[in-house]
Amino acid sequence: MQTRKLGNLEVSAIGLGCMGFSQSYPPFPDKRESIAVIRRAVELGVTFFDTSEAYGPYTNEELVGEALEPFRDQVIVATKFGWNIPADHSAYTDRAFALDSSPATIRRAVEGSLKRLRTDHIDLYYQHRVDPRVPIEEVAATVKDLISEGKVLHFGLSEAKADIIRRAHAVCRVSAVQSEYSMFYREPEKSILPTLEELGIGFVPFSPLGKGILSGRFTRDSRLDDNDFRSAIPRFQGENFQNNMKLADFVAALAVQKGATPAQIALTWVSAQKEWIVPIPGTKKIDRLQENLGSLDISFSADELSSIAATLDGMVILGDRYPQSHNELV
């Protein structure tokens, strides 16, 4: 398995995003099937696994903890804090939580995550979303204390702007920043990637397959179930979706040219942007897992990357990536 560096943290060149086993992409497999996929990923050389206390909530960490317990010393586990999760979350929806990165909440969260993950340390601990009520310096100082106590090894941020990254990094070294990034959403190229390159921070793209639109699974006639969270995303609705399928068609054509699948093309492109980028595609199926890992055997020449960039620059993607006033727990 090829490896890459997130700061000074070495991980497999592709990780596994585990959210979909428990949230947002129904139907969900039973626990035995989910554990089989996660353990197969380990067998195939994946060492980087992503979860969060918010996924479920809690149930995804429990799943990941059980699946990885026999391999704990061989893998890197990333999880996230930053939510006020109600004690009674039986009526949970992914719009229900308030942001909370107060030091007391972070400390409660880390203890819960350690227990659910069946471990004595968290390899990479992200602030899931920036809490505007708590100065990022206070958040970073709290995580720095957890690092000194051995409960956390590395600090990360998710969906943070460049100025927040700089301020946090000045207090506690940030090893990785996680944000959405793909051919379908290239906003991080403007200020995030240059900032990370300057500071020596790794980048972990979630939704590197554009929430599935780059995987080859959609046609213009595709319809999403109402309980699939993508059905509420403007990019996947009506005329926006019809327009955005032009990008899917382009990726599919590239796949034919390269003798690859659309998903492999999308992942290869993401990884090719910087050597310190480690995408974390999610899947619930072993065959898709193997397909995604097959992207590591594909490469683009400089001329191919230049041609792809020119085409992408000429495309207009329509619609917002989330519904208005919606905190998606990715």
Question: 254-271: string of b/e by CB count within 10 Å (b at 16+)?
Answer: bbeeeebbbbbbbbbbbb
The CA–CA distances, whole Å, from 175 to 13, 262, 273 equal: 15, 30, 18
| Strands, E assignment, the chain | 3-6, 9-12, 16-17, 48-50, 76-81, 83-84, 98-99, 122-127, 152-158, 174-180, 202-206
229: nearest Cα among 251, 252, 248, 207? 207
Rounded Cα distance, 162 and 159, in Å: 10
Whether 92 is a known active-site residue: answer no
From 25, 55, 58, 125, active-site residue? 55
Residue written as tokens 């204390």?
145
CB 244 within 8 Å of CB 235: yes
The β-bridge relationship of strands 83-84 and 16-17 is unpaired
CA 202 to chain centre: 13
193: nearest Cα among 165, 227, 224? 165
Query: Which residues are catalytically annotated?
Result: 55
